[in-house]
Structure 1
Amino acid sequence: MKKISIIMVICLAGWIAVSNPFVNKYLTFTNKSVLPAAKESDPLYQSIIKNAPTYELPPKDATIDKVWKAIPGYNGREVDIASSYKNMKNKGVFDEEKLVFNQTKPKVHLKDLPPNPIYKGHPDKPMVSFIINVAWGNEYLSQMLATLKKHNISVSFFLEGNWVKKNPDLAKMIVSSGHEVGNHSYSHPDMKQLTAERAREQIVKTNEIIEAATGKKCVWFAPPSGSYRDETVKVADELNMLTVMWTVDTVDWRKPSPDALIARVMSKIDNGSMVLMHPTESTAKSLDRLITQIKQKNLKIGTVSELMSEQRVEQ
């Protein structure tokens, strides 16, 4: 009878553990290996399960905003119970700094949305991107690249096709410095005024020239002067490209002082911002201080692809 009773207790305990919504969730979540029963009964293990929901964040779906148009999705996070337990078991006490997280994907992704321009990244992502449109300004490129290298950051240069044709070595230098390149049309036309056929010609020709010069295929299109119409965005989409605009404009073409340029950007920059700039004297002289101040706001600086990815950036 004693043996039967013990077996029944063990079975009942096992049933409770599996049927418990918290335990069951994390046993499923950490199904890489089933934890031994001894670990499940450990107060530390139970404490991690109990506290885990406090640290979880749900994923955010990509969506179409009335103002900002297409907004990318953003991963959520869940506690990896097994790995967190392993991190804490030596001291045997719960420590939130030793929690291990797994990222959880949203259900709706940027690629699932209908063709729309993108003005910013996800507002929960503590990252910004520089969009540097290049059709002139060769004399300032080396200084800007040196500053970006100093801060060990990569950004996105959108290149005019005609410029790349004349300056293939500079285009190669941008790529070899670790930066992303995008399409900025071939001859800087007003894309809003072009037929779908001519818009396609501008984009395709530039893609071919950039790939020939740098070996890189463009996935982002930035229309000159931000001028486009719905048909322009659809043409880019048919070419498997997304259209990007900007959140914050340096207006560096007006030749502002470095202080004025920095003040303008810093007054507007926030999570997900894309900062538009060009290779100008104003930007070249401002870039070092601008990067420093952005980092002081606990914002990471990355490429457009990094900003638009669903990957979490923890502060």
Structure 2
Amino acid sequence: MRVYIINKKNLMIICTVIILLLIFFTEESINTFFTKENEEPIRKVDPSIKRMAFTCNVDWGNEEIPKLLDILEEKGVKITFFVTGRWAYNNVELLKLIHSKGHEIGNHAYSHKMHSKISKRQNYIEIKKTEEVIDNILGVKPKYFAPPSGDYNDTTLEVAKELGYKTILWSIDTIDWRKGSTKDIIIKRVMNKPHAGAILLMHPKPATVEALPYLIDKIKEEGIEIGTISDLLNK
């Protein structure tokens, strides 16, 4: 049996390294280091599934939402609306109308902040506060979280997971918020992308409302069923 004797110099070096490690790894970083890696946001699913999800992020656009709902009802399509907490709080009846039409309600945080730029506590407040507003109005706890502007970091994913959410992004972006986005431009952006297993992002914009009937009809002609995020993930 070998006995290793640590001299004073080596002992000092070992102690110094330990102290530096303790300084470098804060409590939060140690927890992150030893916890299981966060799940990546969901942007699409297996393309062999002949199905896709439509999502609509809502923080404005009230005047277009009833028109959007009429088209979806006429076409027999249910989608997922990701709403901000502040919008839900200020538009109770419109939120109830969306839900009454059978559409899924998702969490889009409270005040549309950039979640990679805020603290873990602020991430928590933004998501949890929205959940509470939606639950108080509809009696429903959302299952999916869409970070505003698609902006997130590991902390955002960690908080969403702790609160029981799957984080959702997209594989097809209408970019309908951009100036100059006409009906024809939106149609081209959507139809040039693969649809099977995809998640489409849109907003309640006039050009989107104009393009929607055509998009639904053409995608259905491909034999693809359009539905909510739950429809896509659970099938």
Once residues 176 and 194 of structure 2 are traced to their aligned partners in structure 1, the CA distance between those partners, rounded to angstroms, is 16
Q: Provide the rounded CA distance (Å) in 1 between the counterparts of 2:47 and 2:159.
A: 27
- The yes-or-no answer on 1:237 pairing with 2:143 is no
Q: By how many angstroms is 1:114 displaced? A: 4.5
Q: Which residue of 1 aligns with 2:69?
A: 145
**2:196 aligned with 1:289:** no
Residue 145 (structure 2) pairs with residue 258 (structure 1): no
Equivalent in the alignment of 1:101:
none
- Residue in 1 that maps onto 2:230: 305
C-alpha distance in 2 between matches for 1:269 and 1:160: 28
Q: State whether residues 115 and 153 of structure 2, in contact with CA within 8 Å, keep that contact through their aligned partners in structure 1.
A: yes
SS at match of 2:231: helix
Distance 1:153 1:167 in 2: 23
- Equivalent in the alignment of 1:175: 99
Deviations 1:195-236 (A, max 9, x none): 111100000000000111122111100000000001101100
Unaligned runs of 5+ in 1: 1-111
Q: Percent identity?
A: 40
The amino acid that maps onto 1:127 is R
SS at match of 2:170: coil
- Does residue 199 (structure 1) correspond to residue 114 (structure 2)? The answer is no
1-side partners of 2:80 and 2:92: how far apart? 17
Which is greater in Rg?
1
In structure 2, runs of 5+ residues without a counterpart are 1-35
Q: Secondary structure at the match of 1:301?
A: strand
Cα 1:125–1:196 shift into 2, 3 Å: same
2:59 corresponds in structure 1 to 135
RMSD over equivalenced CA pairs, Å: 1.3
Partner SS state of residue 226, structure 2: strand
Counterpart-to-counterpart distance in 1, 2:37 and 2:111: 29
1:162 is aligned to 2:86: yes
* Counterparts of residues 206-225 of structure 1 (less than 5 Å): 206-225=130-149
Is this contact kept in 2: 1:132–1:278, CA < 8 A? yes
1:268 and 2:193 correspond: yes
How far off is 1:259 after superposition? 1.4
Q: TM-score w.r.t. structure 2 length?
A: 0.82
SS at structure 2 position matched to 1:252? coil
Q: CA deviation at 1:125?
A: 0.7
Tell me the distance in 2 between the aligned counterparts of 1:122 and 1:244.
15
Q: Decide which of 138, 151, 155 is 1:227's aligned counterpart.
A: 151
| CA offset digits 1:236-257 (Å, max 9, x no partner) | 0001101000001001012412
Displaced runs of 4 or more, over 4 A: none
State the 1:180 CA deviation.
0.1
How far apart in 2 are the matches of 1:144 and 1:213?
21
Of the candidates 225, 244, 247, which is equivalent to residue 171 of structure 2?
Answer: 247
For the 8 Å contact 1:122–1:308, the answer to whether it is kept is: no
Query: So what's the TM-score if we normalise by structure 1?
Result: 0.62
The 8 Å contact of residues 38 and 154 in structure 2, kept in 1 or not, is answered as: no
Distance 1:119 1:231 in 2: 19
Secondary structure class of the residue paired with 1:118:
coil
TM-fit CA distance, 1:115:
2.2
Helix, strand or coil for the counterpart of 1:270? coil
The one of the two structures with greater contact order (alpha-carbon pairs below 8 A, sep at least 6) is 2
SS at match of 1:260: helix
Mapped to 1, the partners of 2:46 and 2:89 lie a distance apart of 35
- Equivalent residue letter for 1:287: L
Q: 1:252-281: CA deviations, max 9, x gaps?
A: 012412111111101103211111000000
Would the aligned equivalents of 2:170 and 2:200 in 1 still touch at CA under 8 Å? yes
Letter in 2 for 1:149: E
* Shift of residue 113, structure 1, vs aligned partner: 8.7
**Distance in 2 of aligned mates of 1:233 and 1:194:** 13
